[in-house]
Amino acid sequence: MYNAYFKCIEGCDEKYPLDEIIYSCKKCGGLLEVYHEIDPLKQKTAKEWKDIFYKRLRTTEYPYGSGVWSKKEFVLPNIDNENIVSVFEGNSNLFWARLLEKELGIRELWVKQCGITHTGSFKDLGMTVLVSQVNNMMKNGADIKAIACASTGDTSAALAAYGAYAGIPTIVFLPRGKVSTAQLVQPIANNAIVLALDTDFDGCMKIVQDVTKDKNIYLANSMNSLRIEGQKTVGIEIIEQFDWQVPDTIVIPSGNAGNVSALGKGLLMLEELGMINKRPRIVVAQARNANPLYLAYKNGFENFEPVKAKNTIASAIQIGDPVSYKKAVAMIKEFDGIVEEASEEELADACALSDRTGLYTCPHTGVAIACLKKLIDKQVISKDEVVVVISTAHGLKFSEFKTEYHEGKLKDIGSKYKNPMIELEADSNKVIEAIEKEIYKRGRA
């Protein structure tokens, strides 16, 4: 009844079945997207779809308890359930940032904590879909030896974990010395073939594209639009958690830009099916040291020039030539979007300020919160708005950064909110004196 296939985003008539190993249009070379036939989906009312999703919420019936696969008909409608590779990802917390919203001076602020999913990042949402489709193809006779990706950390962790769970070999290409220890050890622990290359992410991306010209090695990066189908559920899930009410603004950090197009795609699908009647504004947040989308936005998207990404604490978005640029621009325009940037000091301080209110933010979420603060201060975002920040990874993956921040060891960063340990002799009087001093000082802050 339901059907989906690959379709060229450049307006070609070309379309391809989802079990074909293809990443760009044969006719014009454009990127592909997964296109869903909407009319069959419209046979159910908006209320019926909402009731179906609610009934499946966290159920133990495989695979529908997953935040992704509870929306199977919107994602990969034709895949066999027994071939789905899921660890019940998604269903992540929508954290009410009550203290942080007061610090920023905004009516309501919520943080979608995608970092509490299986491997600690939102990349799980897309990887369950891609690995499931590959598993389905292999079970139906496709000669695929392995799945490969270039990564700045989180993509490789997700691919390695889902590949290990499915029993499919995985290969990851990482820029040497540019990912955190936690991100590096994840694919190693999950028995992936890990290649650390003397280049940046963009260099790794070029190599993985060369390697996957061999049709026996399947490409898992976001230029493969299967991943977008899983990642688009983050927007659907946010609206679902708001009881199908739409927030005013959603802020999302971006590097390769696939998450931006995914967020917009999910929301547009809800609109087309009558499940929402307004759109949020989308704000895309970039680190100043890797800001090609921001620079293009500043010139009205008249032209796009890749940049040589500089080192940034927000290493997962240290990308100067985003593969999904065209898709992202289309969604930014659809959603009255804004692109903002944050300096290294701004993002580091935003992380620390957020953590003081009970969060434990990754540096990429710090970029989003820093950009939100700037837009509130500029009065671009009204203080009366309801805002959701998408947190893309867990702060525990970046403990070295947080330790160095609070020790004041980050180069050219003043660590405005640092909270170093107090080292004392084991003397009760001195301990009591130090406690009283700190309580007084913090009460005056």
User: What confidence score (pLDDT) does residue 444 get?
Assistant: 64
pLDDT value at position 34?
96
Beta strand 170-175 pairing with 193-197? parallel
Alpha helices by DSSP H, 115-180: 123-139, 154-166
C-alpha span between 159 and 50 (Å, rounded): 30
The answer to whether 370 and 347 are in contact (CB under 8 A) is yes
* 445: confidence class by pLDDT, cuts 50, 70, 90: low
User: Can you list the positions of beta strands (E) in 385-439?
Assistant: 386-391
Cβ atoms of 229 and 34 within 8 Å: the answer is: yes
For 131, counting Cβ atoms within 10 Å of its Cβ (0-12 exposed, 13-18 middle, 19+ buried), the class is buried
Confirm if 97 and 110 have CB atoms less than 8 A apart. Answer: yes
Query: For position 13, what pLDDT does the model report?
Result: 83
- How far, in Å, CA of 405 to CA of 292, rounded? 27
Percent of the chain with pLDDT over 70: 100
User: Taking all residues of the chain, what is their mean pLDDT, rounded to a whole number?
Assistant: 95
Q: Name the 3-class secondary structure at 150.
A: strand
| DSSP line for 86-131 | -S------EEE-HHHHHHHT-SEEEEEEGGGSTTSBTHHHHHHHHH
Say what the pLDDT of residue 316 is. 86
pLDDT tens digit sequence for 274-289: 999 999 999 999 999 9
The arithmetic mean of pLDDT across residues 87-92, rounded, is: 96
Handedness of CA 103, 116, 126, 154 (dihedral sign): positive
Give pLDDT tens digits for 57-85.
889 999 999 999 999 999 999 999 999 99
Angle between helical axes of 399-406 and 344-355 (0-180°, round to 10): 90
CA separation for the pair 233, 223 (Å, rounded): 18
The mean pLDDT of 188-217, rounded to a whole number, is 93
Per cent of the chain over pLDDT 90 is 87
Mean pLDDT of 47-54: 97
Binned at pLDDT 50, 70 and 90, residue 311 comes out as very high
Is residue 40 predicted with pLDDT exceeding 60? yes
Q: Which of 310, 281, 307 is nearest to 294 (CA)?
A: 307
Query: In this predicted structure, what is the pLDDT of residue 288?
Result: 97
How many whole angstroms separate alpha carbon 147 and alpha carbon 23? 14
**Nearest CA among 393, 290, 411, 280 for reference residue 341:** 290
Domain boundaries, the chain: 94-120+228-406
Paired residues of 33 in beta bridges: 7
Helix (H, G, I), strand (E, B) or coil at 342: strand
Judge whether residue 184 has pLDDT over 90.
no
Q: What is the pLDDT of residue 346?
A: 98
DSSP element (H, E) containing 6: strand 4-8
pTM for this prediction: 0.94
pLDDT for 251-272, tens place per residue?
999 988 889 999 999 999 999 9
Determine the topology of domain 94-120+228-406 in CATH: Rossmann fold (3.40.50)
pLDDT-derived band at 219 (thresholds 50, 70, 90) equals very high
